[in-house]
Structure 1
Amino acid sequence: MPSARPVRIERRAVDERESRAANGPDWDRYADEYQATHGPFLGDAGFLWGPEGFTEDEAGVLGEVRDRDVLEVGSGAGQCSRWVINHGGRAVGVDLSFRQLQHSRRLDEETAIAVPAVLATATALPFGSNRFDVVFSSFGALQFVSDIGSAVAETARVLRPGGRYAFSITHPTRWMFPDDPGSDGLTASQSYWDRTPYVEIEERTGNVAYVEHHRTLGDWVALLAGQGFRITDLLEPEWPAGHERVWGGWSATRGRLTPGTALFGATWEG
């Protein structure tokens, strides 16, 4: 989520170290607002794949989670992992934001459904190889990672053969449009194939405050195939009738005409 502080916008290359140094603190600053604003929509133990409200109960891309070891990358307050636990799975969370993990601990206590979670990055998962049956990320981590090849390789490393990988991201075609929920967000303003990161620079300090990275649909296919994944699902949830919630650049105005979320499901074949 872009910073609310005075910033200037740049498009330039940003490496993994700089991305991590910006996005971890940015999510720490934004976590309280995020959970207060979106927590009731997400549910304390709910599993939404994106702002459209598309649920894992509807999607079924994880496969069976009962009696499975499941890792959530970019787990935030652990809402999705609690859904996994309620469905009989053994869930663990990973997030770059300490403040988000504090909210996860708060919900552990409020719901009496505890999600073990660690402060770590998607590019260096703190687990042994062949540790999990399922790895997933619901709008978490992947768009904020520069070294995406390492993140996908780490997922493959910790999965057991035949394991499932599922993740949702901002639909790559959205990169062409301004992040505006109104009609101005329906006019393409830049190239879909321009992969130059979106960077916010804090005016007061000159430090990078936020970074987001773009990959095309073809890039994601190549990344997954290159690590031995067989893609089984690519879902593009439609905006539901009567759903009027505005979430950043997501809205009914845009969602009725163009996809806002891409949801991949894959099996790791080694």
Structure 2
Amino acid sequence: MDDHLPQSVRVERRSVSEEESRLANGPDWDRYADEYQATHGAFLGDAGFVWGPEGHTEDELRILGDVEGRDVLEVGSGAGQCSRWVRARGGRGFGLDLSHRQLQHSLRLDEETGVAVPSVRGTATDLPFAPQSFDIVFCSFGALQFISDIEHAVSEVARVLRPGGRFAFSITHPTRWMFPDDPDEAGLTATQSYWDRTPYVEVDDASGVVAYVEHHRTLGDWVRLLAGSGFVLADLVEPEWPQDHDRVWGGWSRTRGLLTPGTAIFVAHLRD
């Protein structure tokens, strides 16, 4: 749920490697972490579990099922809010994030809440855990949209999950790729092809360095990715915009949310 556009950048659409994506998005989140937590921290909750800008929580949706006594990994954990929720409910929640600054915020919240989330700095394409270490792996608007080598990332999740384990993740709904990232009525007019998978790239004008990358996959792409790594899709949740919800978060808003989905939550199980 990245909703910033720095000054003095130009937007491009072009292919970007996994290394280039990682080198851009890690420092980008380091720069943005303080603003992100200040702006959205209260909405997310220090030990809360929000699946998307619509505000639907894990208490409401029950995507993960019972976490008590389970080993649970959050990929793209940020400040660990969701993993802290898991720990508060008897699960053994662990976090992983590419951003050093986000993990510093996680340590801050560990101290403030008294609920510590063991976390490591790392990438979703190289999870630093032994095979079959976890019962559940989840990602709430975390790393997946920022990865070029998504096939390898999904295979890494399969590697660290135990047979029958659950993999759940929320992303920007793939149909949003067709529309400008605008919370007002301009964001309701399709301007590009849903099937154009060319990454969105922000380049720093001064240095020419790639500063931010986001990758697009269609709904069908995600289904094939999961099946190719041994997952069985159990559910695809498309949360509706609550009638009384007025929060604007980047391109998410009531204006758009009442008419078109903004979030997709995939729920899958690893074959036994």
Fold equivalence (TM over 0.5):
yes
CA apart distance, 1:3: 4.0
* Alpha-carbon distance in structure 2 between the residues aligned to 1:115 and 1:231: 29
Q: After superposition, where does 1:133-148 map in structure 2 within 5 Å?
A: 133-148=135-150
Q: Match of 2:25? A: 23
CA contact 1:14–1:197 (8 Å) conserved in 2: yes
TM-score norm. by structure 1 comes to 0.99
* Alpha-carbon distance in structure 1 between the residues aligned to 2:46 and 2:267: 24
Indicate which of 179, 192, 199 corresponds to 1:190. 192
- Pairing 1:201–2:231 present: no
CA apart distance, 1:224: 0.3
Q: Deviations over 1:110-135 (max 9, x none)?
A: 00000000000000000000000000
CA apart distance, 1:171: 0.1
Q: Which amino acid in structure 2 is aligned with residue 66 of structure 1?
A: E
CA contact 1:3–1:210 (8 Å) conserved in 2: no
* Alpha-carbon distance in structure 1 between the residues aligned to 2:133 and 2:65: 17
* Alpha-carbon distance in structure 2 between the residues aligned to 1:190 and 1:102: 38
* Alpha-carbon distance in structure 2 between the residues aligned to 1:235 and 1:188: 23
Q: After superposition, where does 1:170-189 map in structure 2 within 5 Å?
A: 170-189=172-191
Indicate which of 254, 260, 265 corresponds to 1:252. 254
* Runs of 4+ more than 6 Å apart: none
* Alpha-carbon distance in structure 1 between the residues aligned to 2:50 and 2:141: 9
Q: 3-state DSSP class of the match of 1:200?
A: strand
Q: Which amino acid in structure 2 is aligned with residue 182 of structure 1?
A: D
Query: C-alpha root-mean-square deviation of aligned residues, in Å?
Result: 0.7
Q: Match of 2:242? A: 240
Q: Deviations over 1:7-56 (max 9, x none)?
A: 11110000100000000000000000000000000000000000000111
* Alpha-carbon distance in structure 1 between the residues aligned to 2:166 and 2:57: 17
Q: After superposition, where does 1:1-270 map in structure 2 within 5 Å?
A: 1=2, 2-270=4-272
* Alpha-carbon distance in structure 2 between the residues aligned to 1:3 and 1:53: 23
Q: Which amino acid in structure 1 is aligned with residue 145 of structure 2?
A: Q
Q: Which amino acid in structure 1 is aligned with residue 8 of structure 2?
A: P
Q: 3-state DSSP class of the match of 2:11?
A: strand
* Alpha-carbon distance in structure 1 between the residues aligned to 2:202 and 2:213: 7
Q: Which amino acid in structure 1 is aligned with residue 187 of structure 2?
A: G
Q: 3-state DSSP class of the match of 2:190?
A: coil
Q: Which amino acid in structure 2 is aligned with residue 14 of structure 1?
A: V
CA contact 1:3–1:209 (8 Å) conserved in 2: no
* Alpha-carbon distance in structure 2 between the residues aligned to 1:103 and 1:7: 27
CA apart distance, 1:58: 1.5
Q: Which amino acid in structure 1 is aligned with residue 56 of structure 2?
A: F
Provide the identity percentage.
73
Q: 3-state DSSP class of the match of 1:266?
A: strand
* Alpha-carbon distance in structure 2 between the residues aligned to 1:18 and 1:230: 31
- The unaligned stretches of length 5 or more in structure 2 are none
* Alpha-carbon distance in structure 1 between the residues aligned to 2:6 and 2:79: 21
- The unaligned stretches of length 5 or more in structure 1 are none
Q: 3-state DSSP class of the match of 1:137?
A: strand
